[in-house]
A and B are shown apart, each in its own frame.
Chain A
Amino acid sequence: MTEYVLQTEDVAIHYGGVKAVDGVDLTLSKGQIRGLIGPNGSGKSTVIDAITGRRMLTRGKVVLRGEDVSEMGVVERRKRGLSRSFQRTSIFGQMLVGKQVELASHKMGVEDSYADTKAVLEELDLWKFAQVEAQDLGYGEQRRLDLALALVGRPSVLLLDEPMAGLSVKESLDLAQHLKQLTSSWDVSVLLVEHDMDVVFSISDVVTVFELGRVISTGEPAKVRSDPRVREAYLGSTA
């Protein structure tokens, strides 16, 4: 039996009569990258919010490494290894790059927070900016810093909400390569929400397609790409 690092069971988030997410079952195996795609408003980001505790579940549960974390807050889930980045860059603009990563490392309970900070920043090629205020970085570097903050403390699951948004083609490809490497070198599993189809289909092990808050297709990239329902609902002629 496959042991999943992350599982959602019948997860639903309703706002009154609006079913933003309805009955979503997802799994994530160790070292796996699962791409989540779908039209805008299909519920991808809401699922990530539900998993991380940013939004309360209407129904269902979230299981992290065998433990039901559905009732836990954001901080408890993060300390158990569930981390995320945001659709909009979410960093501490007025703080030095090194200082904020070191602070995150300390809060994660890492013993040698300096070494952890250095490792994370070197991994994302940001160590040279350690003494620079985050607001003085370029946009691509800020996106990498967002990812660095999510990587601190070596999380077991990383939820990335459109990490390539606003990046150039080259920056997107570099970041995609980084993500692929991270799953093996850092032993982290990734749930990736992304609109750049080339990136999703090139680095994901599994792809799940959302429409109107429900999963309409899931499987290996090639299988999903050729699924007629997916082509009709989302990929259309671009696939």
Chain B
Amino acid sequence: MTFYRSLLVSIIALLLGLAVLNFVTSSTLLSLFTQAIIYAVFALGIGVLLKQNGMVSFGHALYFGSAGYLMGIMLQLQWASAETLIFYTLFIITLVGLLFGLIIVRVPGVAFGMLTLAIGQMFYLTASRARGFTGGADGMNIDWPSTLFGFSVSQILKPSVIFMISWTTLIIVIFLVSCLLRSRFGAITEAVRDNEERARFIGISTLLPRAAIYSLSALISGIAGVLSALNTGFVSPENLHWSLSGMTLMMVVVGGFKVLWGPALGAVVYFMFKDILGDYATHWMTIFGVVLIAVIVFSPTGIAGAIVGLMSGKPSVGNKPAQGH
């Protein structure tokens, strides 16, 4: 997809968000959409890691939850204005992601997943125990100031406004990441993912591109964390727990990670299921589990992969039959 086509699609998507506001008047439904979209951003973070590095993380809740904690703690300490602290938070998340990335992306496959799990749980336990700083297992309220970027926070937190902020953020993140992945950097990371050894033999140092993608995925997860902190005004150790990473990974698998917007679609599908089935069945996750299995078996590239495959008349994206050699 060319730059201008991506731009056009992004503008249309933004207009679609406005259209949703016109049709949906229920604040409960808008709140559900907002939550789904925040998780869509988070899923996008995990999806980028899977798409570009081919790596599965069970610990990205670390960046999602830490963003909330960092905002909460720094706002309490009143180090700077809330706007500046958002920037600091995202900077710290990116930097920490890069540092961890430089260490753990050297490890392939299952071992990488286990490392992400270990690091994530380490932070979860720390947040659970450090009552003085984080409020321990009770979590902490985030004291947002009365205004943010010149707007009243009470206005921002209106369901329609926070929905539009989240939606716009999602579209902008997808657009910027798609631009980045179309660049030479994107080609380098694809090469490293597809064939690391050959990549080294065409002169690519493979560690830094992998670490950079890990850091980018941490940043995107951090953006989702800041949005969540703004939306709920609260953060708890549950936001750092591996089960949150696992749940978001399910969204990524259902949506499909070969297409950039697949994980976001997976998040929306997940929340729709949760809302619709949750009314009828307490154990709705069982049904969702069946859906997950069905998607993995019948469309390994997820719903997005199947949609793109149908539209282009080709096999699902990234699911072409291999050459017989």
Binding site for B on A (CB under 8 A): 52, 54, 73-75, 78-79, 83-84, 86, 89-95, 99-100, 103-104, 106-109, 135-139, 142, 149-150, 152-153, 166
Which residues of chain B have C-beta atoms less than 8 A from A106's C-beta? 184
Instruction: Determine the distance from Cα of A125 to Cα of B252 in the docked complex, in whole angstroms.
Output: 41
Interface residues of B in 290-325 (CB under 8 A from A): 318, 320, 322-323, 325
Instruction: Determine the distance from Cα of A91 to Cα of B205 in the docked complex, in whole angstroms.
Output: 17
A79 B201 Cβ-Cβ under 8 A: no
**Nearest CB in chain B to that of A100: its residue:** B191
Q: What are the nearest 10 A-B pairs in CB distance?
A: A104-B202, A107-B203, A90-B198, A74-B200, A92-B194, A139-B325, A103-B187, A78-B203, A92-B191, A108-B203
A75 B205 Cβ-Cβ under 8 A: yes
B195 A139 Cβ-Cβ under 8 A: no
Which residues of chain A have C-beta atoms less than 8 A from B184's C-beta? 103, 106
**Nearest CB in chain B to that of A82: its residue:** B201
Instruction: Determine the distance from Cα of A136 to Cα of B321 in the docked complex, in whole angstroms.
Output: 9
Q: Which of A52, A100, A139 contacts B201 (CB 8 A)?
A: A52
Q: Which of B191, B201, B318 contacts A78 (CB 8 A)?
A: B201
Q: Does B204 contact A (CB under 8 A)?
A: yes
A-B contacts, 12 of them at CB < 8 A, read A74-B200, A78-B201, A78-B203, A83-B201, A84-B201, A90-B195, A91-B195, A94-B194, A95-B191, A103-B202, A138-B323, A150-B201
Q: Which of A86, A142, A152, A166 contacts B202 (CB 8 A)?
A: A152
Known: A90-B197, A103-B188, A142-B323. 14 other contacts (CB 8 A): A83-B201, A86-B198, A90-B198, A90-B201, A94-B318, A95-B190, A99-B187, A100-B187, A103-B187, A104-B202, A107-B203, A109-B203, A137-B323, A138-B323
Which residues of chain B have C-beta atoms less than 8 A from A92's C-beta? 190-191, 194-195, 198-199
A99-B187, A103-B187, A135-B320 known; A93 vs B202 contact (CB < 8 Å): no
Which residues of chain B have C-beta atoms less than 8 A from A138's C-beta? 323
Which residues of chain A have C-beta atoms less than 8 A from B198's C-beta? 86, 90-92, 149
A91-B195, A95-B187 known; A104 vs B322 contact (CB < 8 Å): no
Instruction: Determine the distance from Cα of A134 to Cα of B318 in the docked complex, in whole angstroms.
Output: 13
Report the minimum CB–CB distance from A92 to chain B (whole Å).
Answer: 5
Report the minimum CB–CB distance from B10 to chain A (whole Å).
Answer: 24
**Nearest CB in chain A to that of B318: its residue:** A94
Instruction: Determine the distance from Cα of A78 to Cα of B241 in the docked complex, in whole angstroms.
Output: 44
Instruction: Determine the distance from Cα of A148 to Cα of B139 in the docked complex, in whole angstroms.
Output: 58
Report the minimum CB–CB distance from A148 to chain B (whole Å).
Answer: 10
A103-B184, A139-B325 known; A74 vs B201 contact (CB < 8 Å): yes
Which residues of chain A have C-beta atoms less than 8 A from B199's C-beta? 92
Report the minimum CB–CB distance from B192 to chain A (whole Å).
Answer: 10
A135 B323 Cβ-Cβ under 8 A: yes
Instruction: Determine the distance from Cα of A86 to Cα of B203 in the docked complex, in whole angstroms.
Output: 15
Instruction: Determine the distance from Cα of A104 to Cα of B198 in the docked complex, in whole angstroms.
Output: 10
Which residues of chain A have C-beta atoms less than 8 A from B318's C-beta? 94
Q: Which of A83, A84, A86, A135 contacts B322 (CB 8 A)?
A: A135
Bitwise interface map of B from 189 to 231 toward A, beta carbon under 8 Å scored 1, else 0 = 0110011011111111100000000000000000000000000
Instruction: Determine the distance from Cα of A52 to Cα of B202 in the docked complex, in whole angstroms.
Output: 12
A75-B205, A89-B325, A135-B320 known; A94 vs B190 contact (CB < 8 Å): yes
Which residues of chain B have C-beta atoms less than 8 A from A54's C-beta? 197
Report the minimum CB–CB distance from B306 to chain A (whole Å).
Answer: 18
Most buried by A among B197, B200, B202: B202
Instruction: Determine the distance from Cα of A104 to Cα of B184 in the docked complex, in whole angstroms.
Output: 11
Instruction: Determine the distance from Cα of A72 to Cα of B25 in the docked complex, in whole angstroms.
Output: 65
**Nearest CB in chain B to that of A54: its residue:** B197
Q: Which of B194, B200, B322, B325 contacts A75 (CB 8 A)?
A: B200
Report the minimum CB–CB distance from B186 to chain A (whole Å).
Answer: 10
Report the minimum CB–CB distance from A48 to chain B (whole Å).
Answer: 12
A104 B203 Cβ-Cβ under 8 A: yes
Which residues of chain A have C-beta atoms less than 8 A from B195's C-beta? 90-93
Instruction: Determine the distance from Cα of A149 to Cα of B197 in the docked complex, in whole angstroms.
Output: 12
Which residues of chain B have C-beta atoms less than 8 A from A153's C-beta? 203
**Nearest CB in chain A to that of B320: its residue:** A135
Instruction: Determine the distance from Cα of A109 to Cα of B322 in the docked complex, in whole angstroms.
Output: 32
B191 A79 Cβ-Cβ under 8 A: no
Instruction: Determine the distance from Cα of A142 to Cα of B324 in the docked complex, in whole angstroms.
Output: 12
**Nearest CB in chain A to that of B322: its residue:** A135
Which residues of chain B have C-beta atoms less than 8 A from A84's C-beta? 201
